[in-house]
Amino acid sequence: MSLQPTRLRPVWLAGALVVLAAAVLVGVLLGAAGLGWRGVLGELADRVPLVDVTSGLTDRQATILWELRLPRVVLGALVGGTLAIAGAAYQGVFRNPLADPYLLGAAAGAGLGATLVIAYGRALTGPIDPVPVAAFGGALAGVGLAYLVGRSVGGRSSAASLVLAGVAVAAFLTALQTFVQQRNSDTLREVYTWILGRLGTTGWSEVLLIAPYVAVSSAVILVHGRLLDVLSVGDEEAGALGVRTGRVRFWVVLGASLGTAAAVAVSGLIGFVGIIVPHIVRMVAGSSYRIVLPLSFLLGAAFLVFADVIARTVAAPAELPIGVVTAFFGAPFFAVVLRTSRGLGT
């Protein structure tokens, strides 16, 4: 029997970076505004130090590229990478291949926060859009409530009690959101547009908003890769090896939830990224979390950039919600994983 690799091979890392670079290139080349591939490549090359290239783009076209299209691609990469690495982290913590970034009530909390602002906060003004702020706070509040409930029931916050608490909290928060929507039916369209996910940007502000949280979240998750490998053998066995399972679970859940909340705040609810990408990585490169986590981030970023390209080109000049595109690929994939998985108990 061959041993599974536990270290990230340079060829896998290089391959993931090539896929991400290809996704970014496709993302900046394609869009509603026809900029021309020669003009786009020339404009990008002109920003490289010691390179002087005449792109041929007008000032308006250059503004579209640098202030609208490129920020959208970067935002998609950050959101996709965050959701993918968070999904892998949750699957490691709960030892369940169907766990996703919205497991502990993050989606329900974010949905409630955004709905409250859309329904009652129209008069709020300021330099910051209140919807992302409310979604971020709601997501963290949902996860925090689920963790507190799970700890009060499970004592040591076991994986099973956390999952069950997340289900209960998500149901409660979703009920509150539905109540608010029914009392403010004129906002239904705006709420559902947000829920279905979007990557529309007004520049680099959304990227700057999410980037610090993505950095902190990813760092927390990545440093626990080896411990997640140990945790995969079971709590008792991991404890016998000196791993404090409760502490590991707390920090990984905290890091994954922080990243998920930030992603949800700027993109709405985009499902299945955290299920599709980690499973593909496991099938190709192995099951060690020291491999799965970094590759999930890179390939998750590429996946969502490609999905966004489909969303804004397949029905051009209109755009599909990006959540519809990810669900189109994710729902069949989820069914296959559900059919082939064995021993999903936490």
| pLDDT tens, residue by residue, 64-95 | 888 888 999 999 999 999 999 999 999 998 88
pLDDT of amino acid 344: 44
Taken as a whole, the chain contains a residue count of: 346
HSE of 161, CA atoms in CB hemisphere, 13 A: 15
Supply 120's token pair: 């009652």
Write down the CATH superfamily of domain 78-340.
Answer: ABC transporter involved in vitamin B12 uptake, BtuC (1.10.3470.10)
In three-state secondary structure terms, 31 is coil
3-state secondary structure 128-158: CCHHHHHHHHHHHHHHHHHHHHHHHHHCCCC
Of residues 140 and 335, the one with the higher pLDDT is: 140
The secondary structure of 33-63, three-state, reads CCCCHHHHHHHHHHCCCCCCCCCCCCHHHHH
pLDDT at 315 over 70: yes
Distance between CA atoms of 123 and 160, rounded to whole angstroms? 42
Q: Check the CA dihedral 332-265-77-95 and report its sign.
A: negative
Does 301 score more than 60 pLDDT? yes
pTM: 0.88
Contacts of 233 (CB under 8 A, 6+ apart): none
Burial class (CB in 10 A: 0-12, 13-18, 19+), 42: middle
**Average pLDDT of the chain?**
84
Residue extents of the structural domains in the chain: 35-68, 78-340
Name which residue leads in pLDDT, 163 or 267.
267
With bands split at pLDDT 50, 70 and 90, how would you rate the model's confidence at 280? very high
pLDDT at 346 over 50: no
